[in-house]
Chains A and B, each alone.
Chain A
Amino acid sequence: QQQVKQSPQSLIVQKGGISIINCAYENTAFDYFPWYQQFPGKGPALLIAIRPDVSEKKEGRFTISFNKSAKQFSLHIMDSQPGDSATYFCAASARSNYQLIWGAGTKLIIKP
């Protein structure tokens, strides 16, 4: 019940296309859903995060869509660029223990 399932494991998208990464969870107590971006050889960095009081959050070309009833959330990258090539991790946590539960990661490659 503490797991966050992330898919796909890897993704190849053409430059200018839309990249979509999905995550699903079971624990209904989760109330914080961040996405982290990691470039090779670097530590992950927070990209965007959402709380369940909204269904969507947009920051530039990056959008989180949140479906509370389906217990799913996804990251959409519009107009994907080669510089977006990285590994993306979703995560979730609950106020009860504050511990972040991480997805397995998605390796995204944007082809020029």
Chain B
Amino acid sequence: DSGVTQTPKHLITATGQRVTLRCSPRSGDLSVYWYQQSLDQGLQFLIQYYNGEERAKGNILERFSAQQFPDLHSELNLSSLELGDSALYFCASSVGKGAETQYFGPGTRLLVL
């Protein structure tokens, strides 16, 4: 158990819909990262927040947005969902700004029908 929690574990929705994925980092960790992993694919870095501020942006679509709240939990919002958005979405956390161990949550499996 990494100490990072993600909800929900599974999510089934329809094209065009909007969903929110939630992540609670390990106690004391200030950074939260979001990743997308499609079937048998690598990890695609989406975005990083550090202590409430956006710190780095990866291959995040304009339909996707995220935020980190004062209690350091983070939410990833996915809108106008397409079939191709079906994937595992991981949240990770770390103590500092990066270049140290990232602790990954169990992931949210999103299926868009």
Give the interface centre of A49, A89, A98, A104 by most chain B CB atoms within 10 Å. A98
Residue tally, chain A, CB below 8 Å to B = 23
- Chain B, interface SS category: loop
Residue tally, chain B, CB below 8 Å to A = 23
CB neighbors of A among B78-113 (8 A) = 90, 92, 96-107
Is B2's CB under 8 angstroms from A45's CB? yes
Is B56's CB under 8 angstroms from A97's CB? yes
A36 to B99, CA, bound (A): 13
Residue of A nearest to B58 (CB): A99
B residues near A, CB below 8 A? 2, 4, 40-43, 45, 48, 56, 90, 92, 96-107
A residues near B, CB below 8 A? 31-32, 34, 41-46, 49, 89, 93-95, 97-100, 102-105, 107
